[in-house]
A = this chain, B = another copy of it.
Amino acid sequence: MLKVNTNYQKLPGSYLFSTIGKKVAAYTKANPDRQVIRLGIGDVTQPIAPAIIAAMHRAVDEMGAAETFHGYAPDLGYEFLRNAIVEHDYKARGCQISADEIFVSDGAKCDSGNIQELFALDNRIAVTDPVYPVYVDSNVMAGRTGTYDEAAGTWSHVIYMPCTMENDFVPEFPKETPDVIYLCFPNNPTGTTITRDQLQAWVDYANKNGALIIYDAAYEAYISQEQVAHSIYECEGARTCAIELKSFSKNAGFTGVRLGYTVVPKELVYEGQSLNAMWARRHGTKYNGAPYIVQRAGEAVYSPEGKAQLKEQVAYYMKNASVIYQGLKESGYTVFGGVNAPYIWLKTPKDMTSWEFFDFLLEQANVVGTPGAGFGPSGEGYFRLTAFGSYENTVKALERIKAL
């Protein structure tokens, strides 16, 4: 008789974005005349850049002719893409990463969910709070998180590192020593980040404690300040304690194209086992490579034309971020983020809860955002707006908020 993985039953019922979706659907059904502006989910809206479109057309044509057809891709990804990644994302920044430490995938969400498979079930994980839900939920499914405290919104075996305005959104070293530390900078959802020096302290901490950092650098392209690291490998000693996850979703608008990669340095050896070899084995056993067409699209991201076009795209979204940030400030809100990330994180006014402010904003301004409480207990009393809408809608949304 089949027995199910009972860890799934421990997951709290409703997923953040489906709850938002239902609330918005109910509101628009009841108020069909209102134009709702969505600054909630982190999906991009700008089309794929021309240089990348051209590369995909070429790749599609290749797939249509026997001489240039491509079947199964190499497990780790095509060399043309892995070499471009090494060259532009690492070598250019003085980071020593080789092509056989790059694992191309269909996105950072999958990688951040799958990476925990390499770890024993009794590892203790630490997350910043608030946090991207996948890190915790994938560990819940594996059975690594203990029991859920409904009232507190926390798991008994997860170490939470609060990031709030009180500590400038910089996590402090936890009292208990974790085995795996998930860090995401620039951060989703807070839109804030830490300096290179602060990141170096985390690298030192991890090395001292034999802990592994899973570093999610999905928003790296939005960094505008010199003192912020684009990669954790800018820090000394990161090769012995850190895996880095990268996405093409936010820097190149690939949310519907699907491409990402994971860096697993060969120095990561625990109990005599190489995480690089283990991840290669997992890739070879359970994955069959990203589409050829998509890997060619990824290569075009690093072409001179692609780079120029994407710089403009990032600037477009960061102009939105500035509109949101300034607009909220002028309206008297306490606001964070938006400088090195496409997210603005605001303190809800008048001691409203995150969800109260969600309802208030939806009903009074017809603007959809994301309640901070959906990202963890320390997100309560905060609210996220994203810069990924169109400029016109962003301006309109802020006019409405100012008029409240």
Q: Which residues of B contact A117 (CB under 8 A)?
A: 5, 141
Q: Which residues of B contact A6 (CB under 8 A)?
A: 120, 271, 273
Nearest CB of chain B from residue A251's CB, rounded to whole Å = 14
Give a binary string over A277-314; 1 marks a CB under 8 Å from any B CB, 0 the rest.
01001101111111111100000000000000000000
Q: Which residues of B contact A48 (CB under 8 A)?
A: 63-64, 69
A94 at the interface (CB under 8 A from B): no
A84 at the interface (CB under 8 A from B): no
Interface stretch (choices A7-15, A26-34, A332-340): A7-15
Partner of A61, one of B53, B61, B66: B53
A403 at the interface (CB under 8 A from B): no
Within 8 A of B (CB), among A1-43: 1-6, 8-9, 11, 15, 18, 41, 43
Partner of A114, one of B107, B123, B281, B286: B286
Size class of the A contact interface (CB-based, 8 Å)? 35 or more
Nearest CB of chain B from residue A18's CB, rounded to whole Å = 8
A73 at the interface (CB under 8 A from B): yes
Interface stretch (choices A195-203, A252-260, A346-354, A373-381): A252-260
Q: Which residues of B contact A315 (CB under 8 A)?
A: none
Contact B291 A256 (CB under 8 A): yes
Contact A293 B2 (CB under 8 A): no
Q: Which residues of B contact A179 (CB under 8 A)?
A: 1-3
Nearest CB of chain B from residue A46's CB, rounded to whole Å = 7
* Given A70-B256, A71-B253, A110-B287: 18 more A-B contacts, CB < 8 Å: A2-B179, A2-B180, A2-B210, A3-B119, A3-B179, A4-B119, A4-B270, A4-B271, A6-B271, A8-B273, A69-B253, A71-B255, A134-B286, A137-B285, A138-B285, A257-B292, A258-B290, A291-B294
